[in-house]
């Protein structure tokens, strides 16, 4: 038997994949020499019956091998709920990526990580409550070491009283080795009874007729989707399977898994069940019903019958009006996809002109998103819980492909896990440079989650003051960094920073007259050179109320801290690889806390040019061209 993660062996219908596609290589150390290892075929795949691919709860599975493994030392499973203790060093092993989205090794790797309490992993700056008692966290708050893509299903082990125990199964995490984003593992002690029970039911010596442990499930799908039905049965082997559709046997379908490709014909809709038999008797499963969603043609749903539409990705978009609509009319909804998949709808237009549309998303914030791509280049993105929102964008001359894509990361789901699109219009004709092409409405309050506070190495979220409608920080005698990181900025600010129209960084800051604030600096952190660029504000605000402070990006007063201290403006290359931007505050000793408030943090043009080039406390993933006229509509805050 092999213990692994359920998400490694589950199909799109959330059923265990066919055992026929798996072979286990036992004893390999180098992947290049895997041909020299023991090769054993898998005879059965068993996923935990309560596995949930949205929450990643119960992410464990068993692979039954056709024959025993020879000359391999086996790990013992940890069955003690008191282990492992927080702070215990654990080891995780695998051939996963060496860094996030990086290369994969040939030689088996291992890394030592401390066990982290679920309370710590559930803090707002980490996973915000997504870690359940069936899960285990390990890693460093500063990041740097972690399991990664390709390690899934592998073991997390500890040494207890001279004995190696498997305490976890590599399950999920946000990125790899990111600060405060610990690796998450299935907690083995929660599953020992299930593991031993399933193995015992499969290998018992007593003769018994079949019984069904997990029944096939009814499914509602969009026409044209692949779908599967699965049954988990036990009994003295060998077990024979025969699937039935509406009471008639299906020729050739004699495995525990029934797969239907491109289902959608009327004669696919109905009831499916399976009869499992052996030499001692037979059992019939409950019926599972396959139903199809009534769909509306895409062009009709999008109010764009003059355009030709196509679908793609891992599932098709469909027209509907049951789950989300504007004024009770139809809209297009993203196809049902799973983790690490995407679904898109696209069309082609002839520019120049103005594109406008309404869109909406209900997803895991920041990690799953709906984006607009023009000729493969992302122009707009929304994520989290965003209600219907109208967007407009100018399109240049020539023929252009427009694609709206809903994309999920590798783990977790939230909300309705879907995206919607409606009222797509393209008005052709030359665009006047003075026309308002982009409209964004947002509440600063909704974007405080994209900012962080670093106080002496501890990361927190800033407070939102409803009274002053600003970010609020209370300082003692300490250094504080208030920043948006590359999870917000997507790794880079766009635009040519040598252009004279794009020259300033600014924010509104509020301090009291008796403030103990001794220093205020703007800063950029460049991932390209790992340099910290800073600009110290000479004249500190020293009176009650709001003051605007700013710095020229072209000023020689900037200095960089890297291998050595250098003075001068940040280079264009450095500004194109910004991974963090913010304000650095230093407070002196004081008997009382000093309150500092920030608002309207932005990058803009010269003081004489009021055109806003890059709003930071807004939807931050919008990339604007330097020569593109932009209008941004702010609310009162």
Give the whole-angstrom CA distance, residue 74 versus residue 498.
Answer: 62
Work out the angle at residue 315's Cα, subtended by the Cα atoms of residues 310 and 319, and round it to the nearest 5 degrees.
60
Q: Write down the residue that tokens 């196809």 correspond to.
A: 335
Using one digit for the tens of pLDDT, what is the confidence trace for 138-197? 999 988 999 998 999 999 999 988 889 999 999 999 888 988 999 999 999 999 999 988
DSSP letters spanning 205-232: SS----EEEE----EEE-TTEEEEEE-E
Q: How many CA atoms lie within 13 A of 113 on its CB side?
A: 31
Do 46 and 96 fall within a single domain? yes
Task: Give the model's confidence band at 542: pLDDT under 50 very low, under 70 low, under 90 confident, else very high.
Answer: low
112 and 162: one domain? yes
Whole-number pLDDT of residue 122: 93
Query: Is the residue at 548 inside a domain?
Result: yes
- Per-residue model confidence (pLDDT) at position 519: 82
Task: Determine the average pLDDT of the residues in 103-124.
Answer: 93
Q: What is the DSSP letter of 57?
A: B
**Chain segment 328-337, per-residue pLDDT in tens:** 889 999 988 8
Q: How many domains does the chain have?
A: 4
Of 373, 402, 428, the position where a domain reaches its end is 428
Question: Mean pLDDT highest for which of 417-421, 477-481, 538-542, 633-637?
Answer: 417-421
Whether residues 475 and 355 fall in one domain: no
Same domain (yes/no): 390, 418: yes
pLDDT at 595: 81
Q: What percentage of the chain reaches a pLDDT higher than 90?
A: 34
Q: Looking at the structure, do residues 144 and 60 belong to the same domain, yes or no?
A: yes
Point out the domain boundary residue: 226, 259, 292: 292
Q: Which residues contact 372 (CB under 8 A, 6 or more apart)?
A: 357, 359, 378, 379, 380, 381, 391, 393, 402, 403, 404
Distances (CA, A) of 303 to 222, 311, 324, 510: 20, 16, 15, 48
No. of helices (H) and no. of strands (E), the chain: 5, 43
> Residue 513 in contact with residue 543, Cβ under 8 Å?
yes
Q: Edge-to-edge strand order for the sheet containing 38-47?
A: 2-4, 61-65, 38-47, 23-26
Token pair 């605007």: residue: 548
Whose structure tokens read 């699109």?
421
Asked if residue 502 and residue 453 are part of one domain, the reply reads yes
Is residue 93 in a domain?
yes
Which whole-number Å values give the CA distances from 91 to 76, 86, 157, 177, in the listed order? 15, 14, 5, 15
Q: Residue 603 in 3-state DSSP?
A: strand
**pLDDT higher than 60, residue 617:** no
Task: List the CATH number of the domain containing 594.
Answer: 2.60.120.260
> How far, in Å, CA of 607 to CA of 614, rounded?
15
Q: What pLDDT was estimated at residue 437?
A: 28
DSSP 237-299: SPPEEEEEETTEEPTT--SSEEEEEEE-SGGG-EEEEEEEEETTEEEEPPPEEEEE---B-HH
In a 13 Å sphere around the CA of 331, the CA atoms on its Cβ side amount to 22
Burial (0-12, 13-18, 19+ Cβ within 10 Å), 545: exposed
Q: Of 144-158, 471-485, 602-616, where does the model show the most confidence?
A: 144-158
Give the chain's largest Cα–Cα span.
90
pLDDT score for 494: 38
Q: Residue 521 phi/psi, 5° resolution?
A: -140, 145
Angle (nearest 5°) at CA 268 between 265 and 273: 170
460 and 380 together in one domain? no
Q: Tell me the chain's radius of gyration from C-alpha atoms.
A: 29
Q: How far is CA 340 from CA 9, 133, 399, 484, 510, in A?
A: 14, 25, 31, 25, 43
* Residue 420, in any domain of the structure: yes
Which residues have a Cβ under 8 Å from the Cβ of 267 and sit 6 or more positions away?
none
Report the C-alpha gap between 220 and 286 in whole angstroms.
Answer: 17
Domain that holds residue 116: 2-197
When the pLDDT of each residue in the chain is averaged and rounded to a whole number, the result is: 81
Q: What secondary structure does DSSP assign to 502-540, as a single string?
A: S-EEEEEEEE-TT--EEEEEEEEEETTTTEEEEEE-SS-
Q: What is the per-residue pLDDT for 234?
A: 86
Tokens standing for residue 387: 């209600």
Residue 334 near residue 420, CB atoms below 8 Å = yes
- Positions annotated as catalytic residues are 7, 59, 152
In a domain, 434, yes or no: no
124 and 263 fall within a common domain:
no
Residue 558 lies in a domain: yes
Q: Tell me the CATH number at 266.
A: 2.60.40.10
* Angstrom distance (rounded) from CA 590 to CA 353: 59
- CATH code of 14's domain: 2.40.10.10
381 and 525 in one domain?
A: no
Contact 126, 120 (CB under 8 A): yes
Indicate if 459 and 407 belong to the same structural domain: no
Residue 438 domain-assigned?
A: no
* pLDDT above 60 (res 629): yes
Q: Which of 244, 268, 292 marks a domain boundary?
A: 292
CA distance linking residue 525 with residue 522, whole number of Å: 10
Exposed e or buried b per residue across 223-238, where buried means at least 16 C-beta atoms within 10 angstroms of its C-beta: bbbebbbbbbbbbbee
3-state class of 19 per DSSP?
Answer: helix
Task: Measure Cα distances from 49 to 45, 67, 193, 460, 488 in Å.
Answer: 12, 25, 14, 38, 37
User: Quick one: pLDDT at residue 626?
Assistant: 62
Q: Which residues pair with 420 in a beta bridge?
A: 333, 360
Q: Is the peptide bond before 352 cis (omega within 30 degrees of 0)?
A: yes
Candidates 175, 165, 168, 201; CA nearest to 60 is: 168
**Matching residue, tokens 């604030």:** 517
Is the predicted pLDDT of residue 596 greater than 60, yes or no? yes
For the stretch 325-384, pLDDT in tens is 888 889 999 988 888 899 999 999 998 888 889 999 998 877 889 999 999 888 888 888
Length of the chain counted residue by residue: 637
d(Cα 99, Cα 145) in Å, to the nearest integer? Answer: 9
Separation of alpha carbons 196 and 139, rounded Å: 29
Please state whether 161 falls in left (phi above 0), alpha (psi between -120 and 50) or beta: left
* DSSP for 329-379, written as a single string: --EEE-----TT-EEEEEEEEEEEEEEEEEEEEESSTTTSEEEEEETTEEE
Q: For 187, phi and psi rounded to 5 degrees?
A: -80, 110
Same domain, 414 and 461: no
Q: Quick one: which H or E segment has residue 429?
A: none
CATH number of the domain that residue 371 is part of: 2.60.120.200
439 within a domain of the structure (yes/no)? no
Q: Tell me if 530 is assigned to some domain.
A: yes
pLDDT reported for residue 576? 64
Q: Is the peptide bond before 164 cis (omega within 30 degrees of 0)?
A: no
- Contact between 255 and 286 (Cβ < 8 Å): no
Closest CA to 149 of 189, 102, 181, 80: 102
Q: Are residues 165 and 273 in the same domain?
A: no
Burial class (CB in 10 A: 0-12, 13-18, 19+), 492: middle
Structure tokens at 97: 């990526």
């Amino acid at each position: 038997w092999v213990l692994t993660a359920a998400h490694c062996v589950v199909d799109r219908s959330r059923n265990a994949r066919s055992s026929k596609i798996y072979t286990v290589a036992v004893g390999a150390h180098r992947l290049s020499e895997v041909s020299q290892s023991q090769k054993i075929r898998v005879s059965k795949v068993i996923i935990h019956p309560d596995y949930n691919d949205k929450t990643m709860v119960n992410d464990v599975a068993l692979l039954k091998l056709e024959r025993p493994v020879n000359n391999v030392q086996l790990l013992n499973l940890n069955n003690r709920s008191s282990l492992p203790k927080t702070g215990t060093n654990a080891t995780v092993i695998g051939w996963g990526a060496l860094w996030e989205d990086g290369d994969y090794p040939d030689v088996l790797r291992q890394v030592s990580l401390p066990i982290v309490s679920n309370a710590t992993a559930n803090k707002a700056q980490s996973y915000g409550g997504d870690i359940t008692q069936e899960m285990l966290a390990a890693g460093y708050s500063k990041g740097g070491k972690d399991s990664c893509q390709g390690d899934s299903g592998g073991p997390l082990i500890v040494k207890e009283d001279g004995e190696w125990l498997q305490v976890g199964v590599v399950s999920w995490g946000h990125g790899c080795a990111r600060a405060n984003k610990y690796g998450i593992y299935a907690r083995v002690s929660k599953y020992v009874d299930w593991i031993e029970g399933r193995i015992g039911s499969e290998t018992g010596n007593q003769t018994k007729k079949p019984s069904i442990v997990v029944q096939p499930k009814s499914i509602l799908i969009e026409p044209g989707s692949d779908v599967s039905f699965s049954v988990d049965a036990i009994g003295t082997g060998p077990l024979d399977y025969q699937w039935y559709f509406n009471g008639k046997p299906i020729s050739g379908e004699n495995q525990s898994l029934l797969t239907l490709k491109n289902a959608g014909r009327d004669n696919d809709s109905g009831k499916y069940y399976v009869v499992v038999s052996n030499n001692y008797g037979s059992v019939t499963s409950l019926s599972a019903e396959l139903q199809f969603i009534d769909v509306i043609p895409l062009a009709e749903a999008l109010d764009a019958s003059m355009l030709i539409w196509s679908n793609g990705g891992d599932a098709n978009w469909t027209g509907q009006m049951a789950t989300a609509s504007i004024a009770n009319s139809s809209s297009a909804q993203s196809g049902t996809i799973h983790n690490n998949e995407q679904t898109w709808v696209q069309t082609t237009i002839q520019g120049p002109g103005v594109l406008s549309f309404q869109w909406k998303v209900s997803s895991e914030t920041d990690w799953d998103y709906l984006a607009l791509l023009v000729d493969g280049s992302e122009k707009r993105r929304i994520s989290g819980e965003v209600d219907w929102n109208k967007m407009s964008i100018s399109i240049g001359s020539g023929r252009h492909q427009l694609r709206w894509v809903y994309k999920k990361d590798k783990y977790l789901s939230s909300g309705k896990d879907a995206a919607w699109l409606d009222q797509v219009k393209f008005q052709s004709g030359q665009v006047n440079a003075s026309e308002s092409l982009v409209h964004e409405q947002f509440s600063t309050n909704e974007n405080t989650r994209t900012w962080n506070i670093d106080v002496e190495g501890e990361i927190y979220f800033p407070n939102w003051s409803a009274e002053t409608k600003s970010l609020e920080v209370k300082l003692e005698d300490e250094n504080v960094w208030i920043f948006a990181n590359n999870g917000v900025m997507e790794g880079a600010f766009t635009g040519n920073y040598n252009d004279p129209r794009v020259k300033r960084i600014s924010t509104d800051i509020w301090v009291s007259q008796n403030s103990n604030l001794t220093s205020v600096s703007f800063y950029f952190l460049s991932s390209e050179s790992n340099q910290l660029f800073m600009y110290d504000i000479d004249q500190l605000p020293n009176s009650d109320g709001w003051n605007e402070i700013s710095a020229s990006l072209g000023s020689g007063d900037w200095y960089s801290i890297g291998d050595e201290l250098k003075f001068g403006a940040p280079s264009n290359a450095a500004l194109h690889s910004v991974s963090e931007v913010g304000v650095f505050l230093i407070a002196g000793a004081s008997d009382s806390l000093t309150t500092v408030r920030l608002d309207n943090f932005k990058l803009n043009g010269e003081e004489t040019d009021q055109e806003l080039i890059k709003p930071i406390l807004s939807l931050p993933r919008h990339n604007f061209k330097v020569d593109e006229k932009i209008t941004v509509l702010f609310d009162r805050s």
